[in-house]
Structure 1
Amino acid sequence: MRQIETSEVAPSSAPLSQAIVEGDLVFASGQIPREPDGTIITGDIKEQTAQVMENLSSILEESGSSLDNVIKSTVFLTDTEHFDGFNDMYAKYMNEPYPARSAFIVASLARTEIDVEVEVIAKIDE
């Protein structure tokens, strides 16, 4: 098991790793719309989603993988009204065939001012 940490993503205050590599898989922790300097992006769901996907991309690249190798994603949104905007931006970062995906509408996320969190499992490039 190998821990992945990159300075391209702001560190979490929670006791967690940005990602863990086990075998040829990388398990990325849920990412929120936080810029590398720690600034939280709020408001527009497309802007929030873009930052989440950039964070995931940086973590996956650090592990030797990429968004192209995502097998499964799990999405947490705070409102069904965000689905269209989220999907529009998600599709700009993910290529077909799209990864398997689960999506949940939740009452709140750990940071109550944000509306999206995404975690992924990806295969490491050989």
Structure 2
Amino acid sequence: MNVNHRRNARAVEVDGVATGGHYSPAVVAGGFVFVAGQTPRDAQRRIVGQTIEEQTTAVLDNLSKVLAAADATLDDVVKVTVYLADLGSFEKFNSVFAKYFSEFKPARTTVECGLPGIMVEIDAIAHVGNSS
């Protein structure tokens, strides 16, 4: 884990995972972990999955990896924003999502938007306490 500090925030990098631009996969600040949008990509940035279910699984697995690098888990997630290429796939997406968040259901916003080459992207906010 590579960690960069700035004032009361620290950027978290995930070992072996390249980002697709100039951003941090996660930033820890004020007791929260802010996770950048995760997509269905492997460590080499290749798209994973041909169906919404497969891509949702890949996204949530990636989200779990980023959270782990920030010493958090899916159980700490309090808010997610879901971007779907087609809202018609919501029910299939939701069936996978529910398996990952079966106990505590975070607040969620779901929107339809243009996602080039992928079907789903998810960003998240997790609460980990009052340390940064």
Scaled by the length of structure 1, the TM-score of the pair is 0.90
Question: What's 1:13 paired with?
Answer: 20
Give the aligned CA root-mean-square deviation in angstroms. Answer: 1.5
Percentage identity across paired residues of the two chains: 38
Find 1:3's aligned residue among 2, 7, 11. 11
Paired residue secondary structure (1:114): coil
Measure, in 1, the Cα distance between the counterparts of 2:120 and 2:74.
18
What TM-score do you get using the length of structure 2 for normalisation? Answer: 0.86
Q: Which residue of 1 aligns with 2:126?
A: 122
Task: Report SS of the residue matched to 1:84.
Answer: helix
Q: Secondary structure at the match of 2:117?
A: coil
The gaps in structure 1 that reach 5 residues or longer are none
Misfit runs of 4+, over 3 Å: none
Give the alignment of 1:33-72 within 5 angstroms. Answer: 33-72=40-79
**In terms of mean alpha carbon deviation, does 57-66 or 32-41 score higher?**
32-41
Gaps of 5+ in 2: 1-8
Whole-Å separation in 1 of the counterparts to 2:93 and 2:40: 12
Q: Decide whether the 8 Å contact of 1:31 with 1:52 is kept in 2.
A: yes
Q: Is the 8 A contact 1:7 1:36 kept in 2?
A: no
